[in-house]
Every structure is written in structure tokens, then in C-alpha cells.
Chain A
Amino acid sequence: MVLTAENISKTFNRRTVFREIGFTVGAGQSIAVTGRNGAGKSTLLKILAGLLTPTSGSVRYAVSGSVHSPEDIRAHLGFVSPYLQLYDEFSALENLRLLSRMRSATVASDERCREMLTRFGLWDRCNDQVRTYSSGMKQRLKYVVALLHDPEVLMLDEPGANLDADGIAAVAQIYESSQRRILIVATNDRSEAERCELKIHLGTEVS
């Protein structure tokens, strides 16, 4: 899979967040999006995931020669972000089963759920309602949801947010095990950005 972003600009009302961002990234490559608060890192990730429409420019995913829009590749996309919430009234396992069924009409296997929840240290609490989780545990669960279907594109917005040392170590493993996928990371953490091969720095524009 190859992701091509061409001349992407985004304007909210009269404020231009960023303009004419372009890059190409292929499977096995990682790209870090950096920039100060308000520079548009999260906005850019939302555009790449098809959650926001760019004011101008285009995002294309090429799979085996055929071109797809971001909406078409959602089933192959994993997304972790502080503003992306899970269902508090359900347990971690229920969240995984329901979301996987909505995503692909098949319920994730118990074995796969157990493997991922164990990897992120949540197996012991997998039947507890998410509302009883700490913010760090919720962040870990977002990783489990994002990685459960082994996505070809993984987008991480502030990947270390709310995580303790063990959680950060689990996230570090994701960088190492992403040889087959496109990894896009929006961060202000220099060490997280350094792990990526390509870098985009967004400056705050005002017009």
C-alpha cells in the first residue's frame, strides 16, 4: 500500500491551519508529523484517515495498482488518539467484539483478543467496564482496538499520552513490528519523532 497526499490545505472559517502539504509514504515506512500546539497535526491525521475533508488537495491510497479514497481503506486502518473515545458502559472485551463486528462483520476471536489485551496489560481487567479504567488504561485499550485487525495503516496521535513506562514500552514495540505497514505519528516528543524515517514539521500559519 502507498499513501499519497497532494497539496493538502485546511482552513477553518478564515484561519488557515496548514497549506500545501504533500508526501508519499509506502508500506514499511513511518512518518512523523511535528509542530507546536495548534499547528494542525491532529487535523492532518484526521484528513489522512478520511474523518475530515481537506479544503484543497487530495489523499489517495494505492493498493496493488488501484487507487482508493481514505473512506475505502477504513477496514485496513488503525487510529489511536486522545479525542477518540471507546464505550464506557461496556467492558474491554465487549468493546473489542462490538467494534470488530461493526468493522468487518466478524467478531474478533477470543484468542486474538486475549493476545492483544495481554500485550497491553489489560487481560486481568478485560471484563470490567471501561468507565472504571484509568486514563492510561483507556489509552492502552485504544491501542488494542487499533491493532486488533492488524491494520496496514496505523495512525498514532500523541502516542505516549497518559501512558506509564510499561505502556510506552508496549508502544515502542509497535514501531519495531511495523515493517509491513504505513505508520504515521503526530507528536511533540522528540524521541518518538526520531524513530520515524520521514518527518513533516507543521508551522502555525495565520491568514
Chain B
Amino acid sequence: MNLLARTSAVFVKDLLSEIRTRYALNALLMFVITAVAVILFALRGDTPGTIVLAGMFWVVVFFTGMSGLSRIFVSEEERGTALTLQLVAPPGVVYFGKLAFNVLLTLVLVAGVTVVYLVAFPGFIIQTPSIFFVTLLLGSLGLASAATIIAAIVAKAGSRGTLYPVLSFPVVVVLLMTVMNATIKSLDGEPFSTAVVDFVVLISYVMVMTAGSFLLFEFVWKD
């Protein structure tokens, strides 16, 4: 209970900070609008198929996430509060508090991208909502988990801006391929059972990534 309360304190601190500064939310919102506008211009009124729509959906989520999710640790380093955090909380508490906040931020992001897609692309019709929402949930957990540990690594490096997407891509490529596959199935109206294999892959990814990140985090966070 003690560790849970301390973890929730880290989460509440980040949530209140985001509500006050709106740094990550504003960056995410602007990136989504810009990316979707560019895609609309490129399509010139054409109606893309479900494969293209599902692919572009997760491309927007990935690059938008890369622009905002790293803030969770970079801002601590830039403001000089990382040492304060190290002094008051053990690494596990910091990791899970930050992970919880990134999960929330990613869920808000995918919900926002979904709404924008439903409005901007008439062909984006979710025919099997159960597959779509489970994919969004597991995809968000996986993306947040990968983004959190990479953000911690990048925050300690000098060239933060360029490193984040470069380091992230090989780590999330399996996740992206799986969520794109499941999203296509939801847009094509396939039954839920056809996506079970994808969900097993996603659950495994989330578990491995979270456990590995937790073990690695202490070494990344210190020094």
C-alpha cells in the first residue's frame, strides 16, 4: 500500500503539472491536426482502403506519441527536478508513476486520433468495435510502456530530439505491425475471434516490455 500510494503521488504530480502547463497535450493536439491535414491534402479527395487507413492511423499515433511522450522525463531533466525526484522516491515508484501517466496520455491521444479520423475520413468505419477498442487499449499500453523507458534513456542523452523516434522505432515495430493488423480486421468487419492471436501478441509485448523496463529503469535513472 505504501508503494502504491507513493506511485500514485508521482502520477498525481505529473497529472496536475500537465493540467497546469498543458505542454504535452498541446504538442500532441497540434501534431494530430497537422498530420491529418497533410494526409487529407495528399489524398486529394480519394477514399483510401482499410489497409491504408489503418496504417496511417497508427503512423499518426506513433509520431504524435514520439513528439509528446518523452516530456515525462525530459522536462524533469531540463528543469533540474530529476534529482529531487531521485531523492524522494525509489526508482520503481518513479517508473510506475510515470508509466501510469503515459498510459493515460496515450489513451487520450488514441481517443483524439479516432475522433479526428471518424470526422475526416468517411471510409474510416469501425465495423467490429470490440476488436477496435481492445486494440486501442492494448496498443496504448504497449506504446506507453515502450515510450516510458525510451524517454528515460533519451532524457539522459545530449541530442534528445533526434534520438527519441530513432530509438523507439525498432522497439515498437512489432507492436505497430500487430495493432495495424488488428485495426484492419476491425475496419473490415471480421469477427472478434480472428483477432485473438493479435491480442495475445500485444499482451505478451506489454508484459515483456513492462517487466524489462522495470528491471532496466534503476540503471538508467541513476547517474
Residues of A within 8 A of B (CB): 49, 51-53, 71, 74, 77, 79, 81, 83-90, 94, 98-99, 101-105, 145
The reply to whether A105 and B6 contact each other, CB–CB distance below 8 Å, is: yes
Taking a contact as CB atoms under 8 Å apart, the answer to whether A105 and B2 are in contact is yes
B145–chain A nearest beta-carbon distance, Å: 22
Q: Which residues on B are within 8 Å of A, measured CB to CB? A: 1-3, 5-6, 9-10, 12-13, 16-17, 20-21, 79-81, 83-90, 93, 222-223
A-B contact count (CB 8 A): 70
Do B17 and A102 have beta carbons less than 8 Å apart?
A: no
- A87 proximity list for chain B (CB < 8 A): 13, 17, 79, 81
- Note all chain A residues with C-beta closer than 8 A to B81: 85-87
B13, B88, B223: the one within 8 Å of A53 (CB)? B223
CB distance from B22 to the nearest CB of A (A): 11
Residues on A with beta carbons closer than 8 Å to the beta carbon of B80: 83-85
A102 in contact with B20 (CB, 8 Å):
no
Interface of B is mostly: helix
For the complex of A and B, the 8 pairs showing the least CB-CB separation, nearest first, are A85-B80, A105-B5, A101-B9, A103-B88, A102-B9, A89-B20, A102-B89, A105-B2
Tell me if A77 and B87 are in contact (CB < 8 A): yes
Q: Are B9 and A89 in contact (CB under 8 A)?
A: no
Residues of A near B1 (CB, < 8 A) are 105
- Find the B residue at minimum CB distance from A77: B87
Residue numbers in B under 8 Å from A86 (CB-CB):
81, 84
Contact of A98 among B3, B9, B90 (CB under 8 A): B9
When C-beta atoms are compared, the residue in chain A nearest to B80 turns out to be A85
Question: In the complex, A81→B86 CA distance in Å?
Answer: 14
Residue of B nearest to A86 (CB): B84
Contacts of B21 in A (CB 8 A): 89
The interface residues of chain B lying within 8 Å CB-to-CB of A74 are 87-88, 90
Q: Which residue of B lies closest to A129 (CB)?
A: B20
